[in-house]
Amino acid sequence: MILLFVVITAYLLGSIPTSVWVGRYFKGIDIREHGSNNAGATNTFRILGKRYGWFVLLTDVAKGTTAACLPFFLSQEAFSGYKDEFLILQLVGGFSAVFGHVFPVFAQFRGGKGVATSLGIVIGINPPAAAVCLALFLLVFLTSRYVSLSAMISSLCFPIVSYFLIHNDTRIMIIFSIVLCTLVVWAHRKNIQRLLNGTENRMNLFARKS
């Protein structure tokens, strides 16, 4: 029952289509019909501007963090002495939220790529690794202006950071970190092709835009 509660609650949480609702309410458009046709924070920045982009980004990150922390709202006494089981429940909640973000029941199952929500999961489960990966993301982004490249490099570094720097060497975390970085790269398969072709769009957060 606890597992079912976490899966359903996290999926519904992840299914909140932040960018879609923001686009419809404030601009009267479906964000999925503009720009890259993706219901994510990056496309929101490009189409709606920084104010709405930051709101969508932070909300999507919060969805992942909240989903990963759902077990904390339950009876922790039931997991006393069962750290692996508790971590598994966190991971299940996190992945359910990402699945909901990518296939949202509230938006015809057409969502985003789940990168921001995945970051939220890492923040909820492994904050030090999340901080290092976020720093790597910013470094690559400030150098290249490619959000997709920054997301892929930081995600690929996540297993290395988690294992070698944070020394989180449990089997569960190793599997989680590898699966997560694989999913992020897979979600950017079209971006990889555009990067190779030289047609990937750059983003400038410092440009003056509403």
State pLDDT tens for residues 23-43. 999 999 999 999 888 888 889
What residues contact 122, with CB distance under 8 A and at least 6 apart?
64, 129, 130, 133, 158, 180
pLDDT of residue 81: 54
Token duo for residue 107: 């938006």
Note the pTM of the prediction, 2 decimals. 0.85
What residues contact 75, with CB distance under 8 A and at least 6 apart?
none
Q: Give backbone dihedrals phi and psi of 20, rounded to 5 degrees, phi first.
A: -65, -50
Domain ranges (residues) in the chain? 2-197
Residues of the chain with pLDDT under 70: 75-84, 167-169, 205-210
